[in-house]
Amino acid sequence: MTLVGGVETGGSWCVCAVGSCAGEIVARQRLATTSPEETLAAIIDFFKQAPPVARIGVGSFGPVDLDPRSPTWGYVMATPKPGWEHASVARGLEQALDVKVSFETDVAAAAIGERRWGAGRGTGSLAYMTVGTGIGVGLLLGQEPWHGISHPEVGHVRVPHDRARDPFAGTCPYHGDCLEGLACGPALAARWGRPAEQLQADHPAWELEAEYLAAGLANLVFTVAPERIILGGGVLAAPGLLALVRARLEALLGGYIQSPLLAPGLERYLVAPALGDDAGVLGAIALACQHGEPENRSAPGLTR
């Protein structure tokens, strides 16, 4: 059985795994995200001790450079994560482990995993939004994640911000009250004085959170029109939040787009991840499998 590796790097934790292209994980480890040097050394050590792999897929927090023609391909770019700006992730792993690395954003990798094994199966286009330390979106349009001048940064779109209702200035160091600045986990904690997991189910935070997330998702539906949206991340663990977002998104769409995919209630359109907390690392494994499969090896611009 051919094995591949998967790495999900997050702002707080990284997950490394070895598995098969059938989705079976045979080895895994969770590591704290500290400095780039310490974290990458721990990832390298994991793979040196694990069963050998044919390729490694990496789903990284960003922003990241995904252009294989760029000298900084595989780097983390202008991130607010202290110490990680211009950290070389993919190239460092390739050099240390002598194996090809496929590199994507963490959310795009999760989208790939969910379409291969989870809630995105059968879709031709898929969006995966995660709401946690930040807000990110991976877009699958066809077989590959969508890239333009960069990967999508839907977390930084502008959404309506009624300052009379919500005077909070936002936490984004670049844009203040963009979607991420208003609705990510740290924004909830800063606005309400305690982390999201400590807010009661009837707290007014959740109606406001649903409003912001639905506004961001409505922009996504009207511009990209994906066949399905998966909404995950730590903030979505709040009981009832997904249902609130569905109801508000349906109201914002206003019946304008006529599609059987948008059945009343949006329960089959806006869904939770089927792979749960494993979406990211399984997606990284799926990314390695996808780029190692013969039909993809000669596709220009898609692999390294």
Domain locations along the chain: 4-106+277-297, 119-273
**Mean pLDDT across 61-71:** 91
Task: Please state, for a pLDDT cut of 90, what percent of the chain lies above it.
Answer: 85
Beta strands in the chain, from DSSP E residues, in sequence order: 4-9, 13-19, 25-32, 56-60, 101-105, 125-131, 135-141, 228-232, 270-271
Domains 4-106+277-297 and 119-273 agree in fold: yes
Are the C-beta atoms of residues 97 and 47 closer than 8 Å to each other?
yes
Q: Is the Cα dihedral 70, 72, 74, 76 positive or negative?
A: negative
Are the C-beta atoms of residues 249 and 209 closer than 8 Å to each other?
no
Q: How far is Cα 223 from Cα 220, in angstroms, rounded to an integer? A: 5
Judge residue 91's burial from the number of C-beta atoms within 10 Å of its C-beta, 0-12 exposed, 13-18 middle, 19 or more buried.
middle
Cβ within 8 Å of residue 24, ≥6 positions away: none
Q: How far is Cα 274 from Cα 296, in angstroms, rounded to an integer? A: 26
The pLDDT tens digits for 235-292 are 999 999 999 999 999 999 999 999 999 999 999 999 999 998 899 999 999 999 988 7
Statement: residue 298 has pLDDT above 70: no
How many helices (H) and strands (E) are present in the chain, helices listed first? 9, 9
**Structure pTM?**
0.90
Are the C-beta atoms of residues 252 and 214 closer than 8 Å to each other?
yes
Cβ within 8 Å of residue 273, ≥6 positions away: 110, 114, 118, 119, 128, 230, 232, 279
Report the b/e string of 94-132 with b at 16+ CB within 10 A.
beebebbbbbbbbbbbbbbbbbbbbbbeebebbbbbbbb
At 107, the amino acid letter reads V
Report the b/e string of 277-299 with b at 16+ CB within 10 A.
ebbbbbbbbbbbbbbbeeeeeee
Give the pLDDT band of residue 299 (cuts 50, 70, 90).
Answer: very low
At 161, the amino acid letter reads H
Helices (H), 144-278: 179-183, 185-192, 205-223, 241-253
The pLDDT tens digits for 190-246 are 999 999 999 999 999 999 999 999 999 999 999 999 999 999 999 999 999 999 999
Quick one: pLDDT at residue 294?
45
Q: Which CATH number does the domain 4-106+277-297 belong to among 3.30.420.40, 3.40.50.720, 3.40.630.30, 3.40.50.300? A: 3.30.420.40
Are the C-beta atoms of residues 178 and 170 closer than 8 Å to each other?
yes
DSSP three-state, residue 40: helix
Quick one: pLDDT at residue 277?
84
Quick one: pLDDT at residue 300?
28
**Residue 54 per-residue DSSP state:** S
**Residue 272 per-residue DSSP state:** -
Statement: residue 297 has pLDDT above 90: no
Quick one: pLDDT at residue 82?
85
Quick one: pLDDT at residue 221?
97
Other beta carbons within 10 Å of 54: 14
The pLDDT tens digits for 100-132 are 999 999 999 999 999 999 999 999 999 999 999
Average pLDDT of the chain to the nearest whole number: 92
The pLDDT tens digits for 83-95 are 999 999 999 999 9
| Closest-CA residue to 113 (of 30, 229, 21) | 21
- Domain 119-273 CATH class label: alpha beta
**Mean pLDDT across 158-183:** 97
**Mean pLDDT across 150-176:** 95
